[in-house]
Structure 1
Amino acid sequence: MEDTVALAEEVVDETSTVWSDAIWDDGTFVNGTYAADFDEAILLLYAGYEEDGTLDQLIAGSEEMETGIEDLKAMPEELQDNYELTYEIYSEAKPLIDLAINPEGSYLTFTDRTEELKVNTEDAFRDYEVLKVEANDVIDE
């Protein structure tokens, strides 16, 4: 899950940069090709992601997360906190991954939404790590 989220963050960050450069610099180079506007720049960027397998990795990671969440539903009652925190990560990460796969909205709404999702996902991962530390402390006692 963490690898897929990290890849999604890289993709949305690069998408934001390319989008911004194409708008504010009146065009930009993407994968060695000049793009005169942001539509062309995003198309070139995502053609590169398609070619190098990045989009396939994101799709496979997203599907793996969905399967993992379904599997976790069958957890014993005493591990319910684990499921809830994992689901919290999933509920923030899934829309981020979806935006990495298929950017939508205006530049401002895209960047605002992805920043919000990145912060929320990082917070959810942090909460999960705290739960793991607390569980290990209980086990060690």
Structure 2
Amino acid sequence: MNNSRSLLCVCFCAGLLGALANSSVTWLAAKLGLPQWCGVDLVPQWTAAWIYPRLLWGGLWGLVFFMTVGSPRSRTQWVRKGLWVSVLLSAWQLFYIYPNRTAFGVLGLGLGTLTPLFILFYNLIWGGFTGFFARAFWGRNR
């Protein structure tokens, strides 16, 4: 298989695992009551209907991450690049998804004033794990 296609698959899988880490932290934080304590109404239930779309979207955003490491010359600082892509993901969620696909408005402020900080934090987890797993799966000798 071509190296680019192999890396594309690695990035998708890393994005999926990043989404699993993101979802786990989101669910655990809600279980501990952290968002509610801060006045944010982000209380997911760990169900297949909640987790499966998140995993799929995490993998698709992993393909966006691939654009940052796809060229052999750009295969450095994988975690940092994952964090930058997660900022783009947060902007997409806060400025497109919330106002256009939900009733929570721009920045998801209908869920609480600190919602953007929680979204950014959760997505930074996705980016860090995605960069870490992509680097780990790809290896150093390629």
Same-fold status (TM-score > 0.5): no
Using structure 1 for the length normalisation, give the TM-score. 0.30
Query: With CA pairs under 8 Å and 6+ residues apart, which has the higher RCO, 1 or 2?
Result: 2
Greater strand content: 1
